[in-house]
């Protein structure tokens, strides 16, 4: 592609349309917001390659940074600059504390009247051309100059910079290990100014496969690992509407071969947080939906262990530092002087693993156990069936998301009624829970040996009587923080007549774990 600025200036009539569009992209009044740069901290670098996108390169490198450290590429929003996106967002705080280099590409008004990265221009979002290649060349220069760890290069950005973050992850998955778009848009959502309007609001609704195909087409034939992605969005963002977070999740989960149902859901500082895992159990996509926040970057100004940032226009104080949480997701907090673990109680709600759920039938004495045949039709059974055999249900949960060594304060099981006959709780009978840290039988899938396999704790909690809706067990604390936790539900006494309940499995059965 022609690297001369005049090539860009020929596009100005089209880009002029963006005076309204992309002023909107970061809001009216953004132009006036230009915090002063820390002169001794931010340095411009020239001569980083052919620079076909005609961008400028700035970097922040902590004093004495050794080789082999990570690199973070941070892309500003419209009418911003590198100097308005370093300390304000908190990234320099963690660069100093955790020990990594910070690259801040900067757009020029000759390319775009509002200094927005051209996330909607085909010539700028493909591998090997335009602004995407310029950012990649800057990244190469950083790795060459500083000896950055090539396996720990990450990208993040706000709004137009977030859309450009998705560009870098799609075009250069061999360069970036992970990314974090904040108030952004899916890769290749628009390839023209006109289409950009619709992408921003009301959003573009495609299937996960269609979104995934756009990413795969950015680097045809690529067979390596795809970047993990942390997606951030304000629930009251009317500029880049929340639908874009949904579409971005669909895009990246499909690329990773994961589904669009969260594997874990919890809250962080009062804001919903979800994690999506691939078939190997690796967290490949996470989301933060910032309740009540408009268009901007979440910060939490202060000097606390998890605080960062300087509030201003579209740098929004929501008591949550996005840079801190993103850095944790990327694993940046493994060196330097990391802050201590956050205080307070953390919560995760885990759906049962349907593939391993089931029930086992046996006589009242446990003779002749066999896996129940109706799990796929009715759910998992507990109690005495019409055939005179007694049923024990197995529910399996992936609890590896609980941090190793965490102190579990409470855990409880929630189950949903499917169908039943008689009253399993009659005459004071109790439905009790046995819990196994790991799997009851020889394997995790339900099998005959689950009937009598030893539990880590037996009868540790109960499920009270119910005949519709859901019911929650009493609390317990036995949870395996390295893998699977299984729960076996049984009646404490064998009924003498038909009395059973079918419970729904999979996403309808959940294990809630709280820890400190």
Strand-strand pairing, 358-362 and 390-398: antiparallel
Given this model, what pLDDT does residue 107 score? 97
Give the chain's count of helices (H) and strands (E). Answer: 12, 24
| Integer Rg of the chain from CA | 27
Q: Which of 120-134, 341-355, 413-427 has the lowest mean pLDDT?
A: 341-355
Spatial separation of the C-alpha atoms in residues 396 and 344, rounded to whole Å: 27
pLDDT beyond 90 at 334: no
Spatial separation of the C-alpha atoms in residues 168 and 133, rounded to whole Å: 9
Residue burial 81-116, b: 16+ Cβ < 10 Å; e: rest: bbbbbbbbbbbbbbbbbbbbbbbbbbbeeebbbbbb
CA angle 370, 488, 432 (to 5 degrees): 120
Tokens (6 digits) for 372? 């129940």
Give me the residues paired with residue 413 across strands.
Answer: 511
E strands of 48-204, at which residues? 56-60, 71-75, 101-106, 153-158, 178-182
Q: Give mean pLDDT, residues 342-360.
A: 80
Q: Model confidence at 3, in pLDDT bands (50, 70, 90)?
A: very low
Tokens (6 digits) for 398? 């992936």
Choosing from 134, 159, 352, 400, the catalytic residue is: 159
Residue 375 φ/ψ, nearest 5 degrees: -60, -40
**Which carries the bigger pLDDT value, residue 35 or residue 470?**
470
Q: What does the pLDDT look like over 143-201, one tens digit per residue?
A: 999 999 999 999 999 999 999 999 999 999 999 999 999 999 999 999 988 899 899 99
DSSP helix/strand/coil, 256: coil
**Which carries the bigger pLDDT value, residue 374 or residue 91?**
91
Closest CA to 106 of 127, 142, 72, 77: 77
Specify whether the CB–CB gap between 446 and 394 falls below 8 A: yes
Q: Model confidence at 506, in pLDDT bands (50, 70, 90)?
A: confident
DSSP helix/strand/coil, 143: helix
The interaxial angle of helices 243-255 and 208-218, nearest 10 deg, is 60
Q: Give mean pLDDT, residues 457-481.
A: 91
pLDDT beyond 60 at 8: no
DSSP letter at 97 equals: I
Given this model, what pLDDT does residue 14 score? 40
> What is the pLDDT of the chain when averaged over all its residues?
88
CA angle 290, 160, 287 (to 5 degrees): 30
Strand-strand pairing, 271-277 and 264-268: antiparallel
Given this model, what pLDDT does residue 471 score? 87
Given this model, what pLDDT does residue 514 score? 85
First to last CA, the chain: 54
Tokens (6 digits) for 70? 């990570």
26 Cβ partners below 8 Å, 6+ apart?
Answer: 77, 78, 79, 80, 116, 158, 159, 160, 239, 295, 314
148 is catalytic: no
CA torsion sign for 248, 26, 177, 136 is: positive
């Amino acid at each position: 592609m022609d690297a001369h600025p005049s090539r860009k200036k020929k596009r100005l009539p089209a880009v002029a349309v963006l005076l309204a569009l992309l002023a909107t992209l970061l809001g009216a009044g953004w132009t006036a917001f230009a915090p002063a740069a820390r002169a001794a901290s931010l340095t411009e670098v020239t001569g980083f390659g052919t620079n076909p996108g005609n961008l400028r390169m700035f970097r922040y490198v902590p004093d004495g940074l050794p080789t082999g450290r990570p690199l973070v590429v941070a892309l500003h929003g419209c009418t911003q600059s590198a100097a308005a996106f370093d300390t304000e967002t908190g990234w320099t705080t963690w660069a100093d504390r955790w020990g990594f280099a910070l690259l801040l590409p900067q757009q020029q008004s000759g390319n775009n009247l509002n200094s927005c990265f051209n996330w909607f221009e085909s010539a700028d979002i493909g591998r090997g051309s335009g602004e995407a290649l310029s950012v990649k060349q800057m990244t190469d220069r950083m790795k060459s100059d500083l000896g950055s760890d090539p396996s720990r290069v990450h990208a993040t950005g706000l709004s137009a910079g977030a859309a450009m973050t998705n560009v870098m992850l799609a075009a250069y998955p061999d360069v970036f290990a992970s990314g974090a778009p904040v108030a952004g848009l899916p890769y290749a959502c628009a390839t023209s100014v006109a289409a950009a309007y619709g992408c921003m609001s009301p959003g573009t609704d495609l299937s996960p496969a269609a979104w995934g195909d756009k990413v795969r087409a950015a680097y045809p034939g690529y067979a390596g690992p795809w970047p993990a992605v942390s997606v951030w969005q304000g629930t009251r963002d009317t500029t880049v509407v929340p639908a874009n977070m949904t579409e971005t999740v669909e895009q990246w989960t499909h690329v990773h071969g994961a589904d669009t149902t969260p594997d874990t859901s919890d809250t962080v500082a009062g804001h919903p947080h979800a994690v999506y895992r691939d078939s190997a159990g690796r967290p490949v996509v996470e989301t933060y939906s910032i309740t009540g926040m408009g268009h901007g970057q979440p910060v939490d100004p202060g000097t606390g262990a998890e605080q960062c940032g300087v509030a201003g226009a579209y740098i929004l104080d929501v008591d949550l530092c996005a840079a801190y949480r993103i850095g944790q997701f990327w694993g940046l907090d493994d060196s330097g002087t990391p802050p201590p673990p956050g205080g307070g109680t953390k919560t995760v709600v885990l759906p049962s693993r349907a593939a391993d759920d089931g029930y086992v039938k046996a006589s009242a004495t446990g003779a002749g156990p066999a896996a129940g045949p109706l799990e796929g039709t009715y759910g998992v059974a507990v109690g005495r069936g019409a055939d005179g055999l007694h049923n024990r249900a197995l529910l399996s949960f992936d609890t590896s998301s609980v941090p190793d060594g965490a102190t579990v304060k409470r855990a409880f099981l929630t189950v949903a009624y499917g169908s039943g006959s008689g009253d399993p709780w009659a005459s004071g009978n109790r439905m009790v829970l046995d819990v196994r840290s790991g799997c009851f039988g020889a394997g995790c899938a339900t099998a005959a040996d689950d009937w009598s396999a030893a539990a880590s704790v037996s009868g540790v909690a109960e499920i009270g009587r119910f005949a519709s809706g859901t019911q929650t067990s009493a609390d317990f604390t036995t949870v395996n923080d390295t893998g699977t936790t299984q729960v076996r539900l049984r009646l404490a006494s064998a009924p003498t007549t038909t009395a059973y309940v079918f419970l729904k499995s999979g996403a309808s059965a959940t294990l809630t774990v709280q820890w400190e």
